[in-house]
Structure 1
Amino acid sequence: MRSFNLGLSTAAAVSALLCCAPPASAAPAGNGTYTVTVVARNTEQSVVGDGTSQGSEITVAQDLYRDNQLVGRNVANCRIARTVTADNSRDMQCLGTFVLADGDITGQGRITFTQAPTDFDLAITGGTGRYRNASGWIHGHVLNDTDTQLTFYVFR
């Protein structure tokens, strides 16, 4: 079984953002809106339960990189909520915190886990410090078994 990848991976946030760079280097997408892309690399992972049945939990820790420089970290937890699907995928509810130099960003949402890597989107549900009024979403694109590209669309 391939490694589980979250960014928000939870998500899990689950899961980063403006973090990675000072505001001047984030790409403004509009009034109070920033777009930032980082790569989340798994550093630790644990599974409670069998990892495939309802109620199983997957916890991941990830380092966040921008331009090959470490800019933060992510901790995320996902619980399998649905296992009965036509394509044998599993729906997970994920919650992640992205720890950055200027504060944290939290994200949560559903990630569908299949045998093949799939993209996912998580909601930005808040934050601390510079991100205390943040909202928006995080788009995750799985690159390989350990790396997920995360693009944060942050509104403040």
Structure 2
Amino acid sequence: MRRAALMVVSLALTVALAAPVAVWAAGGRGGKKQGRVLTVIEHATTDATTDTGAAGDSAGDILTFANEVFDRTDARKVGTDQGFCIRVVVGTSFECNWTTLLADGQITVEGPFLDAGDSTLAVTGGTGRYRNARGFMKLHSLENGTKYSFEFHLVG
């Protein structure tokens, strides 16, 4: 009898925990991953690299910026960004952290900036309309690195 009661309690606990875990695993929406894609175009006009160690491109160098961002058609200014990157692998990548400031809130990202090819960074948070944001951002170089497409894939 005791063994049967223990099995019933164990089964009840398993069922009680399974639903919240399934909702969490599906993105908190019971399997309905609702998200949106927001694309802006950065004009990389203020990018500056500070040489911190050995002369030339070396680990530890710091890239800083505070640029204007435009809508996805690159026609209308919609905000600014600001941030920094630290050179990690010479000739290959920086590790970056920056915030894109828009009229309805801010989106913060962190991750690698690759010297060649597209990069994917994590959305680490936001404010205003984006206060619950999470997801990722695809970074794509345009016009030989004078502009960048920020494609935010947001959930929350």
2:111 equivalent to 1:109: yes
Q: How far apart in 2 are the matches of 1:106 and 1:51?
A: 29
Q: What are the superposed Cα offsets for residues 22-75 of structure 1, whole Å, 9 maximum, x if unpaired?
A: xxxxxxxx7541111121111312211155101000012221111301001111
Give ranges in structure 1 of 5+ residues lacking alignment: 1-29, 84-88
Range with greater deviation from structure 2 (91-100 or 61-70): 61-70
Residue 59 of structure 2 aligns to a residue whose secondary structure is: coil
- Normalised by the length of structure 1, the TM-score is 0.71
2:73 equivalent to 1:73: no
> Pairwise mapping of residues 144-155 of structure 1 onto structure 2 (< 5 A)?
144=143, 145-155=145-155
Bigger relative contact order (CA 8 A; separation at least 6): 1
Identity %: 32
Q: Indicate the residue corresponding to 1:6 in structure 2.
A: none
Q: Indicate the residue corresponding to 2:5 in structure 1.
A: none
Q: How far apart in 2 are the matches of 1:37 and 1:133?
A: 18
Q: What is the RMSD of the two structures over their aligned residues, measured on CA atoms?
A: 1.6
What amino acid maps onto 2:148 in structure 1? T
2:60 equivalent among 55, 79, 84: 55
The structure with the greater share of residues assigned to helix is 2
Bigger Rg over Cα: 2
The number of residues matched between the two structures is 119
Q: Runs of 4 or more off by more than 3 Å in structure 1?
A: none
- Normalised by the length of structure 2, the TM-score is 0.71
Q: Indicate the residue corresponding to 1:125 in structure 2.
A: 124
Residue 77 of structure 1 aligns to a residue whose secondary structure is: strand
The structure with the greater share of residues assigned to strand is 1
